[in-house]
Structure 1
Amino acid sequence: MGFSAWLTAHYEEKGPVQWLAFALELVAALTLFFLMMLTCADVLGRYFFGNSVDGATELTEIGIAILVFAEMPIVTWRGGHVVVDILDKIWSNTAIKALGLLSALLMSGSLYYVGVRIFEFSERAFSRGVVTELLGIPVGLIIQYIAFMSWATAALMMTYGVYHLLTQDRD
């Protein structure tokens, strides 16, 4: 089985979205593996050598940001958010789709606005030269990553998410 066949068998998305989902999940998986190795090294260093890994807390915080915001577009376009469907049995399929479309538009607009505000914070961090305390990593880079992933989530919600919403039948 080739890689493309494996990808098609394990990912329901089609076309470039399938490859994007794989790439983002690969980033998340590698980040999680790095966090696991960092934690193991930190604990082993602390207990057996009396010295922890310098900057482990900073690297853990950065890793969690990378992990969460790499998965955010995937969860969004797969519809993995918590949904309250109390009134779905009462309302028509058209009304449910209209409300779903409205919520997708509101989510996309909100994520776009949040991305703009976060990007402004990154510009301010760059202009002030803000770096992490121990390792000196520019904080603006992490903040920009969060802004770009918020924009990516908003864009993917407007494209593939809305397409999926409109083509999916109610159970």
Structure 2
Amino acid sequence: MSIVAWVNAHYDERGPVRWLAFALEVVAAAVLFFLMALTCVDVAGRYLFSNSVDGATELTEIGLAIMIFAEMPVVTWRGGHIVVDILDRVLGSKLVKALGLLAALVISTSMYFLGVRIFELAERSLRRGVETEYLGIPTGYIVEYIAVMSWFTAFGMISYGIYRILTSQTK
């Protein structure tokens, strides 16, 4: 089975969003595999050779940031968040859709402005030359990545999130 056939069979998204979701999930999977290997090597080094991997904590923190923020737009696009629907049967379908639209707008606006503030902090970090303690990795680039993925998340919520709310069949 070719990669194109596999992606077409396993991803419901259409067009370039399908490949963007696949690429982001490949990034997250590769980082998760790296974190697993790093942890194994670090633990084996500690117990077998009495020497751990220098900077393993820093690499783990950076890897977690990359992995989480790579998946956040995909989860948002698919509507994979936790949803509490206790009152959906009590409220009418129009009110549920209106509340869903309001929630999508609040979430997307919040993520956009959060990304703006995070990007400002990243620029400040780069200007000041802030680096990690042991490995000397500039933290500003990771923080910029977090800001950009926050913007992708905001775009995913405002575009497809609202589309899903408007086209859903609420009972």
**Coarse TM-score class (shorter-chain normalised):** over 0.9
Alignment match, 1:7: 7
Task: Give the TM-score normalised by the residue count of structure 2.
Answer: 0.96
Structure 1: runs of 5 or more not aligned: none
Deviates more, 1:55-64 or 1:159-168: 159-168
Give the whole-Å Cα distance in 2 for the aligned partners of 1:160 and 1:46. Answer: 47
Superposed CA deviations along residues 4-44 of structure 1, whole A, max 9, x for unmatched, are 22112111111111111111111100000000000011011
Whether 1:30 and 2:30 are equivalent positions in the alignment is yes
**Where do 1:1-171 residues align within 5 Å?**
1-170=1-170
Letter in 2 for 1:20: L
Between the aligned partners of 2:11 and 2:70, the Cα distance in structure 1 is: 16
Deviations 1:53-88 (A, max 9, x none): 111000000000001101111111111111111111
Q: Distance in 2 between matches of 1:84 and 1:133?
A: 42
User: How many equivalent residue pairs?
Assistant: 171
Provide the C-alpha distance between the structure 2 equivalents of 1:150 and 1:6, rounded to a whole number of angstroms.
28
TM-superposition CA deviations, 1:70-128 (whole Å, max 9, x none): 11111111111111111111222222111111110100000001001111110110111
Which stretch has the larger CA shift, 100-109 or 154-163?
A: 154-163
Per the TM alignment, residue 166 of structure 1 is displaced from its structure 2 partner at its CA by: 1.5
What TM-score do you get using the length of structure 1 for normalisation? Answer: 0.96
Cα RMSD of the aligned pairs, angstroms, is 1.1
Q: Percent identity?
A: 65
**Runs of 4 or more above 3 Å deviation:** none
Gaps of at least 5 residues in structure 2 are none
Amino acid of the structure 1 residue aligned with 2:15: G
Deviation at 1:2, TM superposition (A): 2.7
Range with bigger deviation, 9-18 or 32-41: 9-18
